[in-house]
């Protein structure tokens, strides 16, 4: 009787040992890291040239004088709110001037290529040149033209135009 | 007819029981008690063996990070194509105890993309490079879909390393302040 009991006790002990060994002793630890990223609104405008030139031409044969630098590349890059309106405008600082002579700046027009870029007519009031919604990188071109006329006084005219890109 | 004897172990001799039967009953009870005692001893012994086995071979793992938050500042995507975390390099200590055969592994998984209200930046735009024994050199990228290996070791001791985090920059990101959590899990077995 005692022998049977002893054998049984050893068997139970072995079973417990095997069970314990097979139960798995993996240890774990965890750490949580919080990632924060800030994207501030920003805008960047790049024009392919700093000046455009309209050469002299016969008004009969060249009623519209194209700028020699056409097409002018333009790049608009902005980070803005996803629903924010990103706008590009052009505003002339005055008419084309040559001493006391002027050519109305509205005689200068442009056409546009590229998504979001729009054609327009130069003016001393800001004119839309492009618009987009939210962030993005946009490339296009502007091609400028000066309406020709026998009424223009001979001279060298010039004026500056300010392009403004806004990304709220 | 034999005498009836009432046993104090709630064992009742039926009518007509004999002294021999009573003795047999007592003997059986004694055997039962002895057997029960043997069983108890065996169970205690096996439990002790199991406990000792567990105490001798269990691994333990500890993971320590130098920071709890990573910050990526705003930057011009034209000049800063990869934004480095302000906290770089991030110190990581992995401490393992157990037998020499202990295998340990450190993984990371993000809880989702970087979120700012309705806007998101895919979390796989964030990556890291590891330095130190057992740390994956990379570069590697975070994932929200599956754990990514950060390091693995065999044996015990403290493994010191560091992680350098970077985030791809883009003009396509909507302006905002983004956030997300990532969980580092260390397993030793």
What per-residue confidence (pLDDT) applies to A85? 97
What's the predicted TM-score (pTM) here? Answer: 0.76
- Among A25, A29, A30, select the one facing B54 at the smallest CB separation: A25
Which residue, among A19, A22, A35, A86, would best test binding to B if mutated, counting the most B CBs under 10 Å from its CB?
A: A35
Per CB-CB distance under 8 Å, the chain A contacts of B31 are: 1
* pLDDT, one tens digit for every residue, chain A (168 residues): 555 555 555 555 444 444 444 445 689 999 999 999 999 999 999 999 999 999 999 999 999 999 999 999 999 999 999 999 999 999 999 999 999 999 999 999 999 999 999 999 999 999 999 999 999 999 999 999 999 999 999 999 999 999 999 998
Partner-chain contact A41 B175, CB within 8 Å: yes
Å between B3 CA and nearest CA of chain A: 30
Q: Does B106 touch chain A (CB under 8 A)?
A: no
> Cα–Cα distance between B107 and B122 in angstroms, integer?
19
Domains and CATH numbers, chain A: 42-166 (2.60.40)
A 28-87: CB under 8 A from B: 28-42, 44, 77-82, 84
DSSP assignments along chain B, one per residue: -PPP-B-TTS-BPPTT--HHHHHHHHHHHHHHHHHHHHHHHHHHHHHHHHHHHHHHH--EEEEEES-SEEEE----TTT-SEEEPTTPSEEEEEEEES-TT-EEEEEEEESSSEEETTEEE-GGGEEEEEESTTB--S-EE--SSS-EEEEEEESSEEEEEEEEEEEE--TTSPSEEEEEEEEEEEEE-
The verdict on B103 touching A (C-beta cutoff 8 Å) is: no
Determine the distance in angstroms separating the CA of A96 from the nearest CA of chain B, rounded to an integer. 35
* Residue A23 CA to its chain's centroid (Å): 59
């Amino acid at each position: 009787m005692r022998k049977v009991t002893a054998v049984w006790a050893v068997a139970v002990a072995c079973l417990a040992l095997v069970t314990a060994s097979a139960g798995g002793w993996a240890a774990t630890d965890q750490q949580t890291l919080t990632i924060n990223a800030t994207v501030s609104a920003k805008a960047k405008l790049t024009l392919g040239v700093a000046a455009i030139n309209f050469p002299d031409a016969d008004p009969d044969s060249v009623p519209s004088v194209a700028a020699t630098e056409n097409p002018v590349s333009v790049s608009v890059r902005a980070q803005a709110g996803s629903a924010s309106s990103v706008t590009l405008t052009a505003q002339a600082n005055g008419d084309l001037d040559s001493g006391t002579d002027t050519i109305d700046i509205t005689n200068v027009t442009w056409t546009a290529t590229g998504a979001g870029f729009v054609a327009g007519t130069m003016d001393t009031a800001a004119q839309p040149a492009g618009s987009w919604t939210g962030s993005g990188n946009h490339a296009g071109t502007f091609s400028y033209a000066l309406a020709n006329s026998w009424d223009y006084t001979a001279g060298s005219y010039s004026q500056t135009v300010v392009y403004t890109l806004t990304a709220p | 007819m034999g005498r009836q004897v009432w046993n104090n172990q709630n064992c009742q001799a039926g009518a007509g029981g004999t002294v021999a039967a009573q003795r047999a009953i007592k003997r059986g009870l004694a055997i039962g008690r002895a057997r029960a005692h043997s069983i108890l001893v065996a169970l205690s012994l096996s439990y002790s063996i199991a406990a000792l086995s567990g105490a001798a071979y269990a691994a333990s793992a500890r993971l320590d990070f130098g920071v709890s938050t990573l910050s990526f500042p705003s930057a011009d995507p034209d000049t800063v194509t990869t934004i480095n975390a302000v906290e770089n390099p991030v110190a990581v200590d992995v401490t393992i105890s157990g037998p020499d055969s202990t295998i340990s592994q450190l993984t990371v998984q993000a809880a989702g993309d970087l979120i700012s209200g309705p806007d998101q930046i895919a979390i796989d735009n964030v990556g890291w490079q590891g330095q130190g024994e057992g740390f994956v050199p990379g570069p590697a990228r975070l994932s929200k879909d599956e754990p990514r290996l950060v390091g693995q070791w065999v044996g015990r001791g403290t493994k010191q390393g560091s992680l350098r985090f970077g985030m791809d920059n883009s003009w396509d990101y909507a302006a905002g302040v983004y956030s997300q959590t990532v969980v580092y899990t260390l397993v030793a077995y």
